[in-house]
Chains A and B, each alone.
Chain A
Amino acid sequence: MSGGPADRAVLSAANISMRYRRGGKLSGSEQIQALDGMSLEVRSGEILALVGPSGSGKSTLARCLAFLERPDSGEVGFQGEAVPWEDVLAMRGLRRRVQLVFQDPARAVSPRFTTEQVLREPQQAWQQRASPQRALDWAQLLAEVELDPKVLPMRARSLSGGQLQRLVLARALVTEPDALLLDETFSGLDLSLQAKLANLVLGLVESRGLTCVLITHNSALAEQLADRSLVLSQGRVVDERSAPDASTGGTS
């Protein structure tokens, strides 16, 4: 991978703020400032890590960058242009290009769906509007995430945790996105599985030329995988760490 002229922003956020209201006996009616004037750029082809404790706004930021949530103020941009939140049809087209993968795959799929149904859903949603219709190469898709084609007719509830995690990765790839947002995808996994999945994602980023945003609280993992890390705290970017350049500094 070479940086150079391809360093344009795939995703960007300019001064975005997001506030949630929470009501409750203990907390009173309190407002939570999830994002507080955050700005960042995700460059094409890079792996960017967002590191921070829970409550620092990582997941809200991910939802905004995946165009699932509109910030209260500020602008979210895709490939240099501000996202047209009002244009519902255009937004649908945009959402397929940025895919979000969550931490707990068991809660991200219906346990009664078969693997094939899980993968068909985004395909159908996308192809209703796409023309010409495109057939999906199941075998190739499953091979990409190292899943056995035998799982296609199996129901999601009968898959192991590792298989499910691969399945939700495959689902995210169905719509051929430009960017992949991984929200704590590697958290709470066994060491050996975490390593296998991280390697799998590295392979996908390389073979598909994806841009990847890795949200994690594991800073060792972020350092091993990412080109750049942003440290978030209380809805702001408080620190930026770039990996040293291979040509100038540091040996492995």
Chain B
Amino acid sequence: MSNTGESQDIDHATSAISPPDNKTRRYDRQLRLWAASGQSALESARILVLSASATSTAVLKNLVLPGIGSFTLLDPADATSADAGNNFFLNGQASVGRPRAVEAVPLLRELNDSVGGEAVVRNVEDVLSEEEGREWVRGFSLVVAHNLRKDTLERLAKMLWEDVSAPPLIVVRSAGFLAEFFIQFHEQCVSEPHTDETPPSLRITRPFPALREWAVGVDYDALDPTDHGHVPFAVILVRAVEDWKAEHGALPSTYAEKQAFKAVLRALKKKPDEENFDEAEAQAWRVWAGDAAPADVRKLFELSPLDPSTASSTQFTSTVPTDSEQQVEITPTTPNAPFHALLRTLARFADAHEGLLPLSGALPDMRTDTASYVRLQELFKDQARAEKEEFAALLREQHPDVASLVSADALDTFVKNAHHVRVLRGRRWGAWEETARGAGLATALQNQPREAATHLVLSAVATLLNDNPDGSTVTLDALKAEVHKLIGENAEVPQELEDAIGEVARAPTADLPNTAAFLGGLIAQEAIKMITKQYVPVNGYCVVDLVDSWTCVIGKDT
């Protein structure tokens, strides 16, 4: 084909189209993960970091770069020669003798002009002893504490736990090659978990009228060969289900029935290369999976929101939804009120539709022609829009006070992810050791020896450093004695515990550059998940061993 008269001037062709602005370009690689909604959540976040250690600045670096709103680095100490050697966010020896928070903040801020940052040269203990200081701490979106003195940490964790609206606290401990962190939070409602990229229910077994009408109207014998090879798999499956039900009364359930169902699909093929029928067979699992709400989502229907009046009790330690007889009323002051109102509306919707959740509207690609695909997509979109409107009306009717707090975007996101939404209930930092002390911890040490050993030894070293921060009292024997206080005097000790004790005794106060960087990345990932409510954060102690290079989670269960 000749291109005479077709050759175009690029300048002219693109004059109406301008590339994205600098901010969008700068954040392009992360916007592809958490989109504008996640970015806007990050930009509203205010982070408090306690101690300007190498680990702390590593965490902050990974939060300043993606563009959090602002951060505060609180640390009373002057930079030492050792700090100048292991912290990338100090000016080498020039920083020695100056407050390390003050030295670090400008070097962190230069990573991203749009992030605010300030240094506060104070002792955390002093801040916590004033009501004004406690209020100030509670005003942040997230608090991170690295190797904080044990007494202070206990006080801080308790204070933040007592108030349901207080920010989550990430507790980080490290010594040499070993480390762990724990996120103390009351409740994390994940509206976009990104855990399952397969489009959910396509209503194969419960088709909406327009979809069913198309499927039952297909006359395979009347179609010309091209059209026959272009019937979309969703339509093929809906039709096959309808025919199967007419003949057998119920859906295929036994292995033999499922094989027979697949054989029916194969028999529809007129030519071996009709890939639409291959797709239908490969997607036949959708028939036995059904279209009702997944069990994990149904469990959330019974979940009661947290009750702020019982904040200081151990109620928050429940990790499974409590089965409540009478449902607590949701008011605008209920913790995570919009999410719980949406969840309860979802339950009502499922009730009214025999277990179905609102259609997500997403349609996977399938072998078909453009017109059929676009037609099918429009049917799905129209149906999804109608169901979303019905859902929105239910929300307004059931929760008039809270409905106004739910933005159109939030409602849209919730409905699109209705099949995957998650709710995590966290625990108070230290609650596991208190409830499992003795036999429980000893059992954990038998069941998950390397993970439990690492956690227990990091706990033990924190106790020893509480009174002697220079590490002078940290010996093999002292660590072992502390661990036995936790697991019982006569508890059996696996080799893994000896290894962990030896590793911590070797480097009790070492904030190694690589360990700091590793933690800096892990904790920033978790902070981003907590802030954006996208992706699923870790629940329990995340334990790290950089000798054998593994991570693992323990202390999740009561």
A is bound by B:
no
